[in-house]
Amino acid sequence: MKNNNLKRMATSVAIALIALLSLSAAYSGEEVMQAVYTRDSGNNMSATLVMTLTNSRGSTRERSIQQFRQNDAGGEKKIMFFLAPSDVKDTSFLSYSYSDGRSDDQWIYLPALKRTKRVAGDKKNESFMGSDFTYDDMGTRHPSADTHKVLRTEMIDGRKCLVVESIPKEAKPTYAKTLAWVVEDEWIGLKKEFYLPNGKVGKKLEISSYEKTDGVWVITDMTMSNMDKGSSTRIQMLDVSFNNDLKESVFTERQMKIGPRI
């Protein structure tokens, strides 16, 4: 009996080792996250985001944003128009991200002031509109900002996922590490956990729905839960379309003032 157990254990260890070796031979953590980063996301995208914020007492608030994104060799341009609630309506936010590693340029148009203001500082770790998402979560973090390691494979909803551990390179990161569940060969993340320096999960991102639109995989329903605060934010993407005939003039101060009528 003991012998059988030992044999089984040895076999399991051998299989695990072979699996691990074959896995690491197949993809490194860097390769997986690079594949996620460079996954086809269309030349441009337009969508309406409905954001539902739920606090620890269960009360909810809703925000609605019309978003346009354009990618080119130089980086990414994104413009967001706040549609609701009424006190922030007509506010717009424009950002230019650069592939050469330069800091983002960001501007906000405040309709009450009728003025476009350049936004100070790196907002990457700040809350996006009071939600559980940060600006960093809303964008695409460059893989070179972290070191990555594939830990194991797991099945989620019948899909084989690579579990990748990413440790930030920055000196004082908000989260000590993240674990991301990435669907093999589709390179879309289905789950992400954000670990605090004390080893506990601080935030958890879960994907409820994703689909292929215009040939591009897109997450259409996701929820970020903040374990510390007991709050959560759900983002639903409506009317998503890719590779539209968007003019360069969409990503300008002029459009910020005009609003989302493209």
Partner 1 sequence: MRHTKTKILIPLLVLLTITTLSLTARDMEFNGMLRDHIAYTFEDSEFAVHEQTLDLTLAGWGENTSIVVNPTIYMGDNQKLELGIREAYVDFYLEDADIRIGKQAIIWGEAEGAFITDLVSPRDMRSFILADFKEIRKGVPAIKVDYYKDAFTFEGIWVAKFIPTSMPDQSSMWAKQPGLPGANPAFLANAEFKLAMPEQTLHNSELFGKVSHFGSKANWALMGGYAFTDEPYISKVTPAASPAKTIIDQEHGRYIMGGGSLSTSVGPTVLRLEAAAYFNKPFTSMPSGPASAAVEKHHQVQSLAGLDWSMWGTQMSTQYILGFVHDHHDNLVDQGKLLKEVSHTFTFRVQKSFFADRLAAKLFTYVEADPLNALIRGSLAWTIEDGVVLEGGLDLFTGDSEGTFGSYKDNSLAWMALRWYF
Token digits for 40?
A: 């086809």
85 DSSP 8-state letter: S
- 174: exposed, middle or buried (Cβ count in 10 Å: 0-12, 13-18, 19+): middle
- List b or e across 99-112, with b for residues whose CB sees 16 or more CB atoms inside 10 angstroms: eeeeebebbbbeee
Q: Which is nearer to partner 1, 56 or 209 (CB)?
A: 56
Q: Which is nearer to partner 1, 54 or 147 (CB)?
A: 54
Q: Which is nearer to partner 1, 115 or 152 (CB)?
A: 115
Cis ω on the peptide bond leading into residue 143 (within 30° of 0)? no
Q: Which is nearer to partner 1, 93 or 187 (CB)?
A: 93
In the complex, what is the shortest distance from the CB of residue 109 to partner 1, in angstroms, rounded to a whole number? Answer: 11
Residues near partner 1 (CB under 8 A): 53, 55, 61-62, 84-87, 89, 96, 103, 105, 112-123, 126-127, 129-131, 231, 249, 252-254, 258, 261
Which amino acid, one-letter code, is at 28? S
In the complex, what is the shortest distance from the CB of residue 178 to partner 1, in angstroms, rounded to a whole number? Answer: 21
Kindly report the number of other CB atoms within 10 A of residue 149's CB atom.
16
Q: Which is nearer to partner 1, 7 or 115 (CB)?
A: 115
Residues 6+ apart with CB under 8 A from 72: 43
In the complex, what is the shortest distance from the CB of residue 114 to partner 1, in angstroms, rounded to a whole number? Answer: 4
In the complex, what is the shortest distance from the CB of residue 166 to partner 1, in angstroms, rounded to a whole number? Answer: 23
Which amino acid, one-letter code, is at 96? Y
Q: Are 229 and 235 in contact (CB under 8 A)?
A: no
Q: Which is nearer to partner 1, 50 or 167 (CB)?
A: 50
Q: Where are the alpha helices (DSSP H) in the chain?
A: 2-26, 29-38, 135-138, 253-258
In the complex, what is the shortest distance from the CB of residue 106 to partner 1, in angstroms, rounded to a whole number? Answer: 9
In the complex, what is the shortest distance from the CB of residue 142 to partner 1, in angstroms, rounded to a whole number? Answer: 18
